[in-house]
Amino acid sequence: MGGFDAGRLDRIAGWMQSYVDQRRLAGCAALIVQGGQEVCYHQAYHRDVESRRPWERDTVARIYSMTKPVTSLALMTLVEEGLFHLDAPVSDFIPAFSDMTCLVPGATAADQVEPCAPPTLHQLLTHTSGLSYAFNPGVLGGLMGEHKVEFRPNQSGLAPMCDMLAELPLAFQPGSRWEYSVGIDVIGRVIEVVTGQTLEEVFVERIFDPLGMDETRFSVPAAARDRFAACYTPMAEGALPWARSKRAAIPCA
C-alpha cells in the first residue's frame, strides 16, 4: 500500500462508524486512491434513513463548498493560458467593483467607511478580499443578510448578485487579513465574463468531461436521482440530532 500503514487505515472505518453511531452523520463513505490504485474504501449506514437505502459506491452527494476548489481550478486554467494574472483587480472584469470602500477598523455602522482598492483575483481566491458571508458576524455580514446577498441557487444569478455585493462596503482593506467569504462566488462570475460561457459549461468542458465526472453538475442528472443521498441538518437541542434538510445543494458528485 505504498507508504500507508494498514493499521491506521483500519481506524478510518471505526471513526466513520462512530459518527454514525453518535447520529452525527446519517451515512458516509471514504475512498483513498494512490497512484491510480485504490488503497482504502469504507461506507457506513444509509444515504436515506427513512427508506433505509444504504450508502454505496455510486451514491451521488452534495459537495457544497467543495465547489470552491473546482471554481479555483477553472480560474487557474485561464491563468495558465495567459488570459490574465492573479494580481488583476476584479474591477477589470466586473466594473461594479471599480469604486470600493471598506469599513474603518472597529466600525459599528455601514457608513463608517474609507476608500480602498478593489480586491485582486488572488485576494478573492484566498479569502483576504474584504468580502464576507451573511452568516458571519460583523457589519458586512449583517448587511449581506439584510440585502439577501447570499449567492443561493434560487436567487438571480452570479451577475446581478455580484453587482449587489459591489454596492456594499468591504469588511476591511483588501489583503490586510482573512475572512471566509463569497470571494470564490465572485471568481465564478469572472470566469463567465472571460469565457463568455456559464460557469457550469466551463466546469463541464474543462474539468468534468476530461475526468469522466459525468454526474457532477449543478443539478442532479436524471439517471442519478435514485442514487441521490438525502441531506440532513442538525435540529434544536433536545430533538433528534438531525432531520431531513430542505436546502438546495449544488453541485453533486
**Selection from 33, 31, 52 nearest residue 42 by Cα:** 31
Give the separation between CA 176 and CA 21, rounded to whole angstroms.
43
Of residues 18, 51, 65, 98, which has the active-site annotation? 65
Q: What angle do CA 248, 75, 121 make, to 5 degrees?
A: 100
Residue whose C-alpha cell is 476591511: 172
Q: How far apart are the first and last CA of the chain?
A: 26
**Cβ partners under 8 Å of residue 241, min gap 6:** 22, 23, 24, 234, 235
- Dihedral angle sign, alpha carbons of residues 182, 150, 234, 61: negative
**Selection from 212, 205, 244, 217 nearest residue 63 by Cα:** 217
Reply yes or no on whether 181 is catalytic. Answer: no
Q: Which amino acid is at 239?
A: A
**Selection from 215, 237, 224, 251 nearest residue 47 by Cα:** 224
Q: List strand residue ranges (DSSP E) for the chain, in order.
A: 27-34, 37-48, 53-54, 100-103, 113-116, 232-234, 242-244
Q: Do 131 and 119 meet the contact criterion of CB atoms below 8 Å apart?
A: yes
Residues with active-site annotation: 65
